[in-house]
Amino acid sequence: MTKPAPTTSADFDCAYRLPFTFWGDIRIPGEVKALIQLGTPRNILELGCGVGRFSRYVAQQGLHATGVDFSPVAIAKAQKRVAHDKVRPRFLVGDVTHLDALGGPFDAAFDVGCFHCLDQQGQRAYASELFRLLAPGSTHLIWAIDSSPAGIPLSPAAVKEAFAPGFELRDAQPSRRRILPSHWYWLVRA
């Protein structure tokens, strides 16, 4: 019997206590690299940052990076990972559907594997929080699997609807990242 994907903060805490998680990333996706080279973003937000590899990369490029995850264990690992870096991202424990502890504006944001874990109500709250936090014209990049752990099929049309009317879906590129049918979504805040 396969263990279900983690969905709660406590589930993710248990998973992040393990020495290795099946969703852990070592390489920085080319799409994230492209995002931080778009225009002149200075202030970048990562939603669902996990142990902070991508936020750390962003900070190492000379940008202000803020990573948010609802797993205190993941955030503690992220903070430990960057403890001796000269330039460090800011890491916060937080729920991506309710980010009152954050103020914007951010110039860009990204999420590699968080959005697809939310139910439809959570997806709408996530989009609302991003609308509040991103500057007009800012880009938000999402990688999401097409058949989410939350049981919601995701497609370009579904993502466009979840972010309407505050964002325009500019591009959706199919991906086989982690060998799963998935997409990279590029959204621009109205």
From the options 3.40.630.40, 3.40.50.300, 3.40.50.150, 2.120.10.30, give the CATH code of 9-14+27-179: 3.40.50.150
Please report, rounded to a whole number, the percentage of residues in the chain having pLDDT higher than 70: 86
Do the beta carbons of residue 184 and residue 154 sit within 8 Å?
no
Q: Average of pLDDT values for 115-123?
A: 92
Confidence tier at 179 by pLDDT (50, 70, 90):
confident
Do the beta carbons of residue 16 and residue 51 sit within 8 Å?
yes
Residue 47 bridge partners (DSSP): 68
Residue 1's pLDDT is 37
List pLDDT tens digits, range 55-103: 999 999 999 999 999 999 999 999 999 999 999 999 999 999 999 999 9
